[in-house]
Amino acid sequence: MKHWAVLLVPLVALIGYFASELGRVDLLLVGTITVDVVDDGSRPAGGAVSYAASIARAYGIRACVVSVAGEDADLSVFAGHELHVVPAAATLTFEHTYTWFGHQRKLRVTANPNVTLSRAHVPRHCQRARTVILGPLTQHELDAASFLEYDSMWDALFRGRQHIGLMAQGFQRRLGPDGRVLPLLTPSPQLLSGLGRSRRVSLFLSDVETEPWSEDWLGLVVGSAERVLITRGSAGATEYNDTGVHDIHIVPVDKVRDTNGAGDTFATGYMLALARGLPDPGAHASWAASRAVMQPQSCKPHCAGDLIEGHVPAWRPADRLAAAAHGLGAAARGLVDRGLREGLAAALHLRQLPPGTLTQMAAKATAGAGGGAAQSGKKKSGGVGGKKLAAGPADEEDDDDDDELASVTVATVTL
């Protein structure tokens, strides 16, 4: 009877895991909605999340969208998605001047809702989304670091459970005194903190933002992200990842009608291809962006994904189960990897000890088993802090050992 129970517990846990994965939200989009005031006097809705929402719909995905907007915002682009709006006095308003600098437009902010979105604004069931895409448009509108749920030891176990894509162009924009948008010369603190400590964010920028950076800054950012994708307009894109620097070529189209939202489409296409486990997300993203630039500005962002629709199979329960199995595999690999690394570190640590230490340690341990009680008794009678002190020194010694172990690991990696 007991043997049955031992098998039953992990089985029930596994079934529970797959069942909860089936019900998981596929995509969470977070960022501010804009009103784009264009030369011809029209005021279409815009912003990275608007384009991401339009593209996600083309992929047949119902996303959870968390955004900030005033009463004047046009929210129709989010039809079909689950929309959560944090109300604000004003909607972020960009004035566009179509004077071209390379492929860049001149922008001016004329109204700013002044709300910082964070994970706390996201409903609980959306926080568990399989893929998270963050699309800040200005420096202070989004706390990207708050979305790094597993940014620590747990990350080793949960890597692969949630992909985070950061479309960070807004973090690299500075507002001049007249509201004009200017690029920053170095990566902003918002960008760097949004990458966290454990290299698990996919970062998307365009060459407009990264051009002013020195090699060192670029190296620092690349070293802090899981991958960095820099789009270069008609010159394609560059992917920096664990296997090096890769060119991603554009997919040629007969006629480029409007490049608005091309970068957002690229990023969204990349993240969705990644979640789906497609072999070459970069090439897929490039294809998706090529469909978006074939659409005229007049119908955007609504129509940005229209030429994609029907060309990518929709997510089905089988895909979700496959993604869940993949997540489980990644967690297992994380666990094994961690075990191996710690084991290796421990082995190296032992090898570096002076000869004879092991025998001494063994002798001490044997003596300690008998003498421990007497020792702690002595400390107690010493009196300062009583009980706590007696337990304290032993704990601290353990901690010291851990620290040494950690420093050995680091040294080994550097060598």
Ligand X SMILES: *[C@@H]1O[C@H](CO)[C@@H](O)[C@H](O)[C@H]1NC(C)=O
Sign of the C-alpha dihedral computed for residues 170, 171, 173 and 174 taken in this order: positive
Nearer to ligand X, 202 or 297 (CB): 202
CB of 388 to ligand X, least distance (A): 43
CB of 160 to ligand X, least distance (A): 12
CB of 383 to ligand X, least distance (A): 52
CB of 283 to ligand X, least distance (A): 7
Nearer to ligand X, 210 or 297 (CB): 210
Nearer to ligand X, 76 or 243 (CB): 243
Radius of gyration of the chain (CA): 26
Q: How far is CA 61 from CA 50, 272, 305, in A?
A: 14, 9, 12
Residues that bind ligand X (CB under 6 A): 114, 116, 140, 227, 239, 241-243, 246, 248, 280, 282
Residue in 302, 225, 249, 325 with CA at minimum distance from that of residue 18: 325
Nearer to ligand X, 241 or 259 (CB): 241
Residue in 49, 26, 318 with CA at minimum distance from that of residue 169: 49
Q: For residues 32 and 47, is the Cβ–Cβ distance under 8 A?
A: yes
CB of 243 to ligand X, least distance (A): 4
Nearer to ligand X, 117 or 148 (CB): 117
Type of residue found at 79? A
CB of 353 to ligand X, least distance (A): 37
| Residue burial 132-153, b: 16+ Cβ < 10 Å; e: rest | bbbbbbbbebbbbbbbbbbbee
Nearer to ligand X, 77 or 237 (CB): 237
How many other C-beta atoms lie within 10 A of the C-beta of residue 194?
Answer: 26
Nearer to ligand X, 115 or 345 (CB): 115
CB of 226 to ligand X, least distance (A): 8
Nearer to ligand X, 244 or 356 (CB): 244
CB of 369 to ligand X, least distance (A): 49
Instruction: Write the CB contacts of 139 (distance below 8 Å, at least 6 apart in sequence).
Output: 170, 171, 173, 174, 175, 188, 190
Instruction: Write the CB contacts of 292 (distance below 8 Å, at least 6 apart in sequence).
Output: 51, 55, 261, 262, 265, 304, 305, 307, 308
CA atoms within 13 A of residue 32's CA, in its CB half-sphere:
32
